[in-house]
Chain A
Amino acid sequence: AQSVTQLGSHVSVSEGALVLLRCNYSSSVPPYLFWYVQYPNQGLQLLLKYTSAATLVKGINGFEAEFKKSETSFHLTKPSAHMSDAAEYFCAVRRFNRDDKIIFGKGTRLHILP
């Protein structure tokens, strides 16, 4: 079965600093991987997705993530944090080429310090 583990339920970074949100996946078959962001009282917005093409995926709002099969990781990064990046971030996995549901991690709350 697939699963994702997000390391750190809360991460704080200073404005302008590097953002690194960690995600490790477990999947018996090649996965699709996703990062979503949730702002307060809103639904989830797709930031980026890995679908077996390029291992470095660029998303919206300056975020990117790198698929590393050897480390079973899909960490999310952004070179310079903005105050507007404060939100909950969810890593998610889905089996490749299957009509499966997406399985979400437990989320990481990103705090931006002025």
Chain B
Amino acid sequence: GEEVAQTPKHLVRGEGQKAKLYCAPIKGHSYVFWYQQVLKNEFKFLISFQNENVFDETGMPKERFSAKCLPNSPCSLEIQATKLEDSAVYFCASSRRVEDGYTFGSGTRLTVV
């Protein structure tokens, strides 16, 4: 399809629980990016993929966050043992070429209580 599909739209987890977010990029887009948007509206880069390969993971808190993009499956972002500060909207984006802007999904709002 021509949109980046993110599921679920909303996710509520108790502190310490696991959260898993999904993203289906646009068909034909080989780059996938995950960003975290917190209350101040700033977009924090988490990780990027080129096809199923991690391209840049400099933004990932590695001790609790992990991500995958496997062939023929939606990409996923998993947070083990969520913390209150993980509450944010997580956006996935995809692009076909380097010079393209991203196409963003509508985000998953994670609330950790």
Contact = CB atoms under 8 A, between A and B. Distances in A.
Interface of A: 32, 34, 36, 42-46, 49, 51, 88, 90, 92, 94, 97-104, 106-107
A36 B99 CA distance: 15
A90 B31 CA distance: 21
Interface residues of B, number: 25
Contacts of B106: 42-43
Interface of A is mostly: strand
A103 B45 CA distance: 8
A99 B45 contact: no
B52 to A, nearest CB: 15
Contacts, number: 51
Contact of A46 (B43, B50, B99, B103): B103
A49 B106 CA distance: 20
B42 A44 contact: no
B104 A44 contact: yes
